[in-house]
């Protein structure tokens, strides 16, 4: 990506920075994968499970458990592999190659989800339709490869501009990404308020379409020496262990990763369960939630773009502290919401915190880590996030399962458990020391 960086530096003044081919293509990949994230992880797959399983107040909670555990299973596999991804980046420099392979697998699984969800099998496994179990399995695989691609995607950011330009590029990328949500949600016009599986195939096709600019205009840097390539893939675990042993040397980065663990735990679980929570607890229709999600997306766009400038002005650490406070307020409002308008405010605040958190977090990781270890630390950063993405859904799903007999109270208790996690993360984050 040296060519891209050179171009970005040359045109870095003003808005022209965002219009260079590598920067714009990089941002459009965020646009493309956000279509998958919003449509599949947040909206239509949860609605599909609730529509298929939930026929009573108790079964609505069981559907929530199903959604939570499916997300946790995908994250479990990510925990195993993401540390190795960082080592692969540092050894080979092949970022685009892995993004491409992982993206095509994710798209293929999403297409097959749409096919199998529309097939009515007469046989059952464990009392559940075979088609349902196949769709859930494909979702786990698709989500795994979607998140795997993001580990490599994030490490391209430092190649796109100077130290001063990176916060702006990061905010721009996330803002463009959330614009993808607006395009992705257009498939609702084809679906309506039932048969939510009909959104799966159009989502896959949109993902493929907007992935193409990245495929054509983003290039890998020059390959690393052959000696580095010959090392065993699985020997990367030794390097990860060695990196943990060096914790004292890179203490601020590790403290931040621990804090991020709790923030990501609360934020990602809340976003993943937002659709079903709004539907069964607040009483939103599918159309109302789509509108709420559009508002949240606009909030995310504003938040991500604005926090690029806020991060540049006050620093990444302080920006993340502000994000924590916004997240905690959103959780309090969502847990106690008795009317729709309160949840509208909560949803907007969730959008701001989601849009702002990734940009500021990526900048802080870049600031706290040495350049030669950056790929490995991004792998560990993803590792921290994915471990939290196991714990959060398991906690949420276990609470809804344990208190399913109490109906809607179970979901409120499950969401309330995330408040504790967010508060712990905020406290730990205050111990992160920024470099002078």
Mean pLDDT of 177-194: 83
Contact 103, 211 (CB under 8 A): yes
Q: Enumerate the H helices of 246-285 as residue ranges.
A: 251-277
Q: Helix, strand, or coil here: 161?
A: coil
Higher-pLDDT residue of 413, 313:
413
Confidence of residue 5 (pLDDT cuts 50, 70, 90): very low
Question: Do the domain assignments include residue 143?
Answer: yes
- Among the residue ranges 111-120, 300-309, 327-336, the one predicted with the least confidence is 300-309
CA angle 428, 432, 434 (to 5 degrees): 165
How many angstroms separate the CA atoms of 335 and 410, rounded?
Answer: 11
Summarised one tens digit per residue, pLDDT across range 122-156 is 666 656 678 888 999 999 999 999 988 888 887 78
The CATH number covering residue 316 comes to 1.20.1250.20
Confidence of residue 110 (pLDDT cuts 50, 70, 90): very high
Question: Do the domain assignments include residue 133?
Answer: yes
Question: Do the domain assignments include residue 289?
Answer: yes
pLDDT the model gives residue 155: 77
Phi-psi domain of 223 (left: phi exceeds 0; alpha: psi -120 through 50; beta: other): beta
Q: What are phi and psi of 244, to 5 degrees?
A: -65, -35
Residues 6+ apart with CB under 8 A from 421: 262, 263, 265, 266, 392
Higher-pLDDT residue of 168, 123:
168
SS (H, E, C) 170-189: HHHHHHHHHHHHHHHHHHHH
Question: Do the domain assignments include residue 225?
Answer: no
Confidence of residue 435 (pLDDT cuts 50, 70, 90): low
Q: What are phi and psi of 128, to 5 degrees?
A: -120, 150
Mean pLDDT of 67-89: 81
- Among the residue ranges 55-59, 182-186, 266-270, the one predicted with the least confidence is 55-59
Contact 156, 26 (CB under 8 A): yes
Residues 6+ apart with CB under 8 A from 92: 223, 224, 228, 229
Contact 98, 88 (CB under 8 A): yes
Question: Do the domain assignments include residue 354?
Answer: yes
Q: Which domain holds residue 215?
A: 20-219+240-429
How many angstroms separate the CA atoms of 193 and 287, rounded?
Answer: 7
Q: Enumerate the H helices of 11-94 as residue ranges.
A: 21-36, 45-53, 57-92
Taking alpha carbons only, the member of 356, 415, 386 closest to residue 264 is: 386
Residues 6+ apart with CB under 8 A from 83: 236, 237, 240, 379, 380, 383
Contact 2, 159 (CB under 8 A): yes
Taking alpha carbons only, the member of 300, 323, 311 closest to residue 426 is: 323
How many angstroms separate the CA atoms of 221 and 350, rounded?
Answer: 36
Contact 67, 276 (CB under 8 A): yes
Question: Do the domain assignments include residue 6?
Answer: no
Confidence of residue 387 (pLDDT cuts 50, 70, 90): confident
Summarised one tens digit per residue, pLDDT across range 257-291 is 888 888 888 988 888 888 888 988 888 888 899 89
Residues 6+ apart with CB under 8 A from 312: 164, 167, 168
Higher-pLDDT residue of 266, 436:
266
Ordered DSSP codes for 319-360:
HHHHHHHHHHHHHHHHHH--SHHHHHHHHHHHHHHHHHHHHH
Contact 180, 30 (CB under 8 A): yes
If one counts every other C-beta atom within 10 angstroms of the C-beta of residue 25, the result is 19
Mean pLDDT of 407-411: 84
How many angstroms separate the CA atoms of 167 and 12, rounded?
Answer: 12
Summarised one tens digit per residue, pLDDT across range 190-236 is 887 778 889 999 999 999 999 998 888 877 665 545 444 455 556 65
Percent of the chain with pLDDT over 70: 83
pLDDT the model gives residue 205: 96
How many angstroms separate the CA atoms of 24 and 240, rounded?
Answer: 33
pTM: 0.77
Summarised one tens digit per residue, pLDDT across range 236-257 is 567 667 766 766 677 888 888 8
Higher-pLDDT residue of 46, 175:
46
Question: Do the domain assignments include residue 362?
Answer: yes
Question: Do the domain assignments include residue 397?
Answer: yes
Please tell me the total count of domains within the chain.
1
The mean predicted confidence, pLDDT, of the chain is 81
Mean pLDDT of 356-361: 81
């Amino acid at each position: 990506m040296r060519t891209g960086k050179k171009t970005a530096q040359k045109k870095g003044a003003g808005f022209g920075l965002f219009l260079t081919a590598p920067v714009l293509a990089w941002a459009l990949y965020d646009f493309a994968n956000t279509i998958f994230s919003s449509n599949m992880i947040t909206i239509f797959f949860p609605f599909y499970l609730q529509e298929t399983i939930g026929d009573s107040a108790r079964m609505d909670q069981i559907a929530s458990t199903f959604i939570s555990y499916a997300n946790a299973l995908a994250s479990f596999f990510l925990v195993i592999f993401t540390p190795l991804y960082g080592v692969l980046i540092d050894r080979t420099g092949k970022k685009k190659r892995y993004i491409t392979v992982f993206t095509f697998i994710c798209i293929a699984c999403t297409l097959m989800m749409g096919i199998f969800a529309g097939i009515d099998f007469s046989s059952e496994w464990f009392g559940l339709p075979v088609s349902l179990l196949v769709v859930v399995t494909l979702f786990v695989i698709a989500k795994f490869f979607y998140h795997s691609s993001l580990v490599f995607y994030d490490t391209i950011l430092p190649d796109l501009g100077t130290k001063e330009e990176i916060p702006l590029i990061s905010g721009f990328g996330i803002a463009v990404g959330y614009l993808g949500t607006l395009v992705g949600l257009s498939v609702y016009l084809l679906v309506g308020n039932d048969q939510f599986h009909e959104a799966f195939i159009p989502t896959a096709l949109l993902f493929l379409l907007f992935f193409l600019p990245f495929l054509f205009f983003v290039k890998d840097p020059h390959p690393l020496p052959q000696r580095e390539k010959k090392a065993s893939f699985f020997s990367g675990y030794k390097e990860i262990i060695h990196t943990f042993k060096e914790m004292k040397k890179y203490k601020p980065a590790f403290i931040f990763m621990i804090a991020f663990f709790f923030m990501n735990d609360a934020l990602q679980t809340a976003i993943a369960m937002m659709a079903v929570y709004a539907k069964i607890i607040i009483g939103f229709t599918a159309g109302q939630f789509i509108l709420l999600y559009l508002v949240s997306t606009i909030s995310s766009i504003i938040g991500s773009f604005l926090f690029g400038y806020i991060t540049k002005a006050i620093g990444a650490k302080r920006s993340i502290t502000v994000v924590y406070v916004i997240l905690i307020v959103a959780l309090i409002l969502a847990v106690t919401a008795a009317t729709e308008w309160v949840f509208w405010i909560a949803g907007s605040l969730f959008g701001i915190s989601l849009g702002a958190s990734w940009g500021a977090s990526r900048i802080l990781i870049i600031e706290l880590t040495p350049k030669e270890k950056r790929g490995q630390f991004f792998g560990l950063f993803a590792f921290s996030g994915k471990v939290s993405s196991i714990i959060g859904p398991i906690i949420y799903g276990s609470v809804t399962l344990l208190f399913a007999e109490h109906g809607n109270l179970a979901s409120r208790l499950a969401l309330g458990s995330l408040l504790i996690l967010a508060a712990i993360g905020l406290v730990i984050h205050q111990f992160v020391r920024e470099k002078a």
